[in-house]
Structures are given as structure tokens and as C-alpha cells.
Amino acid sequence: MTMEQQPYIVKGIGGFYYVKTADGVVECKPKGIFRKRGITPVAGDQVRLQYDAGTWVIAEVLPRKNVFVRPPVANVDQFFIVASTVQPSPSTLVIDKLSAIAVDRGAQPVLVITKGDLQKADELERCYSTAGFPVLCVNASSGQGLEEVRAMLAGKLSVFSGNSGVGKSTLLSALMPGIQLETGEISQKLGRGRHTTREVVLYETCGGLVADTPGFASLDMARAAAIPKENLELAFPDIARLFGQCRFTGCSHLSEKGCAVRAAVQDGQISCTRYESYVTMYEQAKEQEKR
């Protein structure tokens, strides 16, 4: 992967950044020019370093493939959305918002379903069988699905998102044995909805990089990265594949005659919950624009 050749930020704490280079990890400060330009380096950024007055400095942040604000991480290739069948019950709207944000930012969404031993995953699998992105059933205890996930991590920078209780920490620990993760326990001690000040940390595993995002909940991200209504259909792969097939150019897929998307929902080619999420997000984007 390209990151092995190019120095990249592993984590940032209190204005210092830890950069992985061919010779190991070095502590750096960014040049003052970044603040003037409104650029904040984040984990995942590929950088150019300079040695200046006995210390390493970040001289340049290279062009990003993408950047997420919550969690603060750049150049994400894959976005694993962890959802449990029960305890807590899954929200298809949250899954659809996160997957749409990933697609909008040029990252591949992957749905990971946990707790299939407590309640069958059939319904969730059926919902997403036509969604246009991978769906995996995983059980960290039995090892089900872990090899598939490990294979997908190779050569990529991956982020795992999931609300409290879905088993994200357990999954990450199973994928990265021996790495002491900071996810999960601390946010549970603080209670849901509270934020920790811990930063994103990148770990090398399975031939790729995985971002540990302590204290981060799916809902934070869904609120932080709204998609304009004009771009929304392209963020749903199952809707995007019908692009240009509606009778009217610029069809919103809400009520127009001759809409190929609504016909596909009736035919079962697009699941009802996916379409409902699209409509909800479209209306929310419309309201946001009015404000």
C-alpha cells in the first residue's frame, strides 16, 4: 500500500503528531502556516517532513482522498458499519446515513452484523442484499466471518463505526490480538452520549491500517456530515445504478411519474427501508438548505 512508502500520521496529541516513517515513528509539530491556512492535520494524513533546528516538523500535508471530521481521520478506504441484530436493535436509518456518507466521501461501506447467535440476521441481510455493498455476519467468539474481514483489511485504511453495545470493541480485539485498544470500556464508563478527548490512533494489522476511534458513536458522524439533496441519489449505490432511467431529468424519486427508483422499490429490487431512509435524508437536506 502507498502508505508504507509515504510517511503518515499515526495519531496526534496536544499539538504533537506521531508520524510513521521508513525508520520508525517520529514526534513532530506542524509548521505554523497550517493554522493560517485553516488546515488541521489528522490521523491518516500522508505528510512530507523536514528536519529543522534539531526537530522534525510537518512541512506539507499531501492531497487527501477524503477527510472525516468525526472521527477525525483522512484517506479512508473502507468504512465498516457494525450493527447488532438485538441489544441494541439496529437502526436502518443510521446504517443508511453512515453508508451514504462513506460513499459520498469515496470510501467503501461494509455492513458487519453481530449477535446473530442471539437473534437471526436474516431480516437485516434481506434489507441489504440489494444495497450494493458487502454485508458480513460476524461472531468474534466463534470466529465466524473474521477471516473475511481480515482479508478485506489488507492494503487499506479502514474505520470501524458502531454505537455502544454492538460489539465493535470485541470485534476489533479479535481482529487485532495483542493490541491494547482504548475503544469501548472508557465510553461505557462515561455513559452514552458523553465524549472523550482521546484521539484516533492507527494500528497496522492484517497488512493494512485500522483506525481505533474511542468514544465515537455512529450518530456523531451522521450529524456531522450531511449530504446535499442533489448528491444523495449517488450516495445510495442501489439508487445510483438507476441514474438516468427516470422519465424526468432531475427526478427527486419522491413523487414524480415514471420514476424508475419507485418502480424498483415496488419490484423488490430496492428494499423499502433503504428507500424510506433516502426520503428521510432528502427531506432533512431540504430543511437544512432552507435554514
Predicted confidence (pLDDT) at residue 216 exceeds the cutoff of 70? no
Q: What is the pLDDT of residue 290?
A: 82
Find cell 509539530 and name the residue.
29
Residues 109 and 44 in one domain: no
pLDDT single digits (tens) 78-118: 999 999 999 889 999 999 999 999 999 999 999 999 999 98
Query: In whole angstroms, what is the distance from residue 18 CA to residue 16 CA?
Result: 7
In this prediction, residue 185 has a pLDDT band, given cuts at 50, 70 and 90, of: very low
Residues 188 and 91 in one domain: yes
In this prediction, residue 215 has a pLDDT band, given cuts at 50, 70 and 90, of: low
Residues 200 and 110 in one domain: yes
pLDDT single digits (tens) 8-33: 999 998 889 999 999 999 999 998 88
Range of the structural domain that residue 26 is part of: 2-61
Q: Which three cell numbers stand for residue 6?
A: 509515504
Residues 11 and 139 in one domain: no
Q: What is the pTM of this model?
A: 0.88
Query: In whole angstroms, what is the distance from residue 261 CA to residue 266 CA?
Result: 9
Residues 74 and 196 in one domain: yes
Predicted confidence (pLDDT) at residue 223 exceeds the cutoff of 90? no
Residues 6+ apart with CB under 8 A from 225: 68, 69, 70, 101, 104, 105
Q: Which three cell numbers stand for residue 258?
A: 415514471
The pair phi, psi for residue 16, each rounded to 5°, is: -100, 145
Residues 113 and 42 in one domain: no
Q: What is the pLDDT of residue 70?
A: 79
Across residues 234-243, what is the average pLDDT? 96
- In three-state secondary structure terms, 92 is helix
Among 186, 207, 223, give the residue marking a domain's end. 223
In the chain, where do the E strands start and end?
8-13, 16-21, 24-30, 47-52, 55-61, 67-68, 73-74, 78-84, 108-114, 135-137, 157-161, 201-205, 208-212
Q: What is the pLDDT of residue 180?
A: 64
Residues 102 and 177 in one domain: yes
pLDDT single digits (tens) 261-277: 999 999 999 999 999 99
Number of domains in the chain: 3
Residue pair 8/21 in contact by the 8 Å Cβ criterion: no
Neighbours of 135 (CB within 10 A): 18
Residues 218 and 231 in one domain: no
Predicted confidence (pLDDT) at residue 146 exceeds the cutoff of 80? yes
Residues 29 and 138 in one domain: no
Residues 94 and 196 in one domain: yes
Residues 135 and 268 in one domain: no
Q: What is the pLDDT of residue 272?
A: 96
The CATH number of whichever domain residue 8 belongs to comes to 2.40.50.140
Question: Is the sign of the CA dihedral 97, 200, 186, 172 positive or negative?
Answer: positive
In this prediction, residue 190 has a pLDDT band, given cuts at 50, 70 and 90, of: very low
Residues 45 and 126 in one domain: no
Predicted confidence (pLDDT) at residue 75 exceeds the cutoff of 90? yes
Q: Exposed e or buried b for every residue in 42-76, given b needs 16+ CB within 10 A?
A: bbbbbbebeeeeeebbbbbbeeeebbbebbbbbbb
In this prediction, residue 69 has a pLDDT band, given cuts at 50, 70 and 90, of: confident
